[in-house]
């Protein structure tokens, strides 16, 4: 409680200090803009009046000079009087003392004033006193972490009955990192975070956005999650396939070479969920389907086959057909298309002496695709708790992510 209270105080103080700085900056900018507007109006309006004043002052000065010259002619010597009067008369005839420049009427002369609306303070006051809230409990909390190969399935739940969520926002960071980063924003309440290093602690937190709201809720209490399972990887070196840098995505290239691409190691264990996802390649298309195509699991790698439709393997073809030990089942799944996800779940249902079916190890297999699933028992003649996964495609363009 003390730690969260201290953090909340720091966040509030920092936020309101930032607001005060920003508000002062905005007010200073607005004041400068208004002062510049006053200067512009003043300069534009005063210019013709200044010119009019200069003309009047010039006319008064000229008349004053002429008056002094006339007085000098009248009071001067008799000999020079005629000459000065003649000069005075000529100047007087050329000077127009009976005209003035046009002066704007008083109603046409600008009179500047500042119009300030005091209601701004009321609006700001109301907004400020409604700004920010302090929550004792976030409306959503992290609920569960499930280890996945090279990933973690994170689940969260709503803990405030009155809160109606519209979207959730999940963030994570390595325990050694200083900043969280977004990993999911959406309406689901769980998400598989991939590219997780095994045996490394990661910190997670989640928040939500209420229905019709723009702001996010407070963050949940951060929790630590990790995985001990190494990531699934495709094996390298098969000519017909190109792999991503993390080797969890395989692309069937245009090489004429064909065959089954297996996992690097038997990293799929019973009790886990294995997922194949058809990744979009720039445009929403997939390769041309073929009946020999396969996505599935097997007991061991067997080279020389061009499909997993063989003994000691279960698989799904891109047309939705399900094969168990090379035999096609009557139940069928939807065809694999752009963005399709195919999952395999297996659990041990029998481990003991040989049965009438000829095996002593039985796995219950559930394969799901596009909201449909098939369930069957897979009988093997040997105990096998970890399996290889594999894929084969006859034509280029297929791109599969495994996790």
Q: What is the mean pLDDT of residues 52-78?
A: 77
Give the residue, 45 or 266, on which the prediction is more confident: 266
| Nearest C-alpha neighbor of 164 from the set 208, 206, 220 | 208
Percent of the chain with pLDDT over 90: 50
What do you get for the CA distance between the two ends of the chain, in Å?
38
Phi, psi for 23 (deg, rounded to 5)? -65, -45
Give the residue, 287 or 77, on which the prediction is more confident: 287
Give the residue, 182 or 46, on which the prediction is more confident: 182
239-281 pLDDT, tens per residue? 999 999 999 999 999 888 889 999 999 999 988 899 999 876 5
**pLDDT at site 80:** 67
Confidence tier at 192 by pLDDT (50, 70, 90): very high
**pLDDT at site 71:** 77
**pLDDT at site 281:** 52
Q: What is the mean pLDDT of residues 345-351?
A: 85
Q: What is the mean pLDDT of residues 65-71?
A: 78
- Is the model's pTM score more than 0.95? no
**pLDDT at site 118:** 82
Class of domain 140-225 (CATH, top level): mainly beta
Phi, psi for 26 (deg, rounded to 5)? -65, -40
Give the burial class of 223: count Cβ atoms within 10 A of its Cβ; 0-12 exposed, 13-18 middle, 19 or more buried.
middle
Q: Is the pLDDT of residue 284 over 50?
A: no
Q: What is the mean pLDDT of residues 103-125?
A: 80
Cα(349)–Cα(363) distance, integer angstroms: 6
Q: What is the mean pLDDT of residues 323-349?
A: 92
**pLDDT at site 101:** 62
Q: Where are the domains of the chain?
A: 140-225, 241-402
**CATH architecture group of domain 241-402:** Sandwich (2.60)
Cβ–Cβ contacts within 10 Å for residue 166, how many?
A: 11
Mean pLDDT rounded to a whole number for the chain: 86
**pLDDT at site 102:** 67
Give the residue, 197 or 118, on which the prediction is more confident: 197
Max CA separation in the chain (angstroms): 160
**pLDDT at site 381:** 85
Give the residue, 303 or 235, on which the prediction is more confident: 235
Q: What is the DSSP letter of 281?
A: B
Strand partners, 169: 185, 207
Distance of CA 117 to the CA centre of its chain: 39
Q: Is the pLDDT of residue 357 over 80?
A: no
């Amino acid at each position: 409680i003390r730690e969260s209270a201290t953090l909340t105080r720091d966040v509030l103080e920092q936020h309101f200090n930032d607001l005060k700085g920003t508000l002062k900056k905005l007010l200073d900018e607005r004041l400068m803009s208004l002062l510049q507007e006053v200067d512009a109006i003043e300069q534009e309006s005063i210019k013709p009046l200044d010119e009019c004043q200069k003309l009047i002052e010039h006319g008064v000065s000229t008349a004053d000079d002429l008056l002094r010259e006339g007085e000098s002619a009248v009071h001067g010597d008799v000999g020079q009087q005629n000459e000065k009067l003649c000069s005075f008369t000529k100047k007087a005839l050329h000077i127009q003392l009976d005209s003035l420049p046009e002066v704007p009427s008083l109603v046409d002369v600008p009179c500047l004033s500042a119009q300030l609306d005091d209601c701004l303070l009321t609006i700001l006051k109301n907004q400020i006193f409604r700004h920010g809230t302090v929550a004792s409990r976030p409306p959503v909390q992290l609920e569960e972490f499930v280890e996945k190969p090279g990933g973690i399935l994170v689940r969260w739940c709503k803990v405030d009955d009155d809160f109606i969520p519209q979207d959730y926002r999940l963030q994570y960071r390595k325990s050694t990192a200083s900043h969280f980063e977004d990993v999911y924003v959406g309406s689901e309440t769980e998400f598989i975070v991939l590219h997780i290093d095994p045996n490394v602690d990661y910190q997670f937190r989640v928040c939500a956005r209420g229905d019709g709201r723009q702001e996010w809720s407070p963050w949940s209490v951060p929790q630590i999650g990790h995985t001990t399972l190494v990531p699934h990887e495709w094996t390298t070196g098969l000519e017909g396939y190109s792999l991503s840098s993390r080797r969890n995505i395989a692309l069937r290239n245009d090489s004429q070479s064909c065959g089954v691409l297996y996992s690097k190691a038997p990293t799929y264990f019973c009790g886990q969920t294995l997922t194949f996802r058809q990744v979009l390649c720039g445009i929403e298309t997939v390769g041309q389907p073929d009946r020999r195509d396969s996505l599935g699991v097997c007991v061991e790698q067997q080279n020389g086959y061009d499909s997993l439709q063989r003994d000691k393997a279960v698989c799904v073809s891109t047309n939705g057909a399900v094969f168990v030990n090379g035999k096609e089942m009557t139940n069928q799944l939807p065809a694999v298309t752009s963005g399709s996800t195919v999952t395999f779940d297996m659990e041990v249902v029998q481990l003991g002496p040989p049965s009438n079916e000829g095996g002593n190890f039985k796995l219950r297999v559930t394969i799901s695709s596009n909201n449909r699933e098939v369930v069957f028992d897979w009988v093997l003649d040997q105990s096998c708790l970890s399996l290889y996964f594999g894929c084969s495609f006859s034509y280029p363009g297929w791109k599969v992510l495994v996790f």
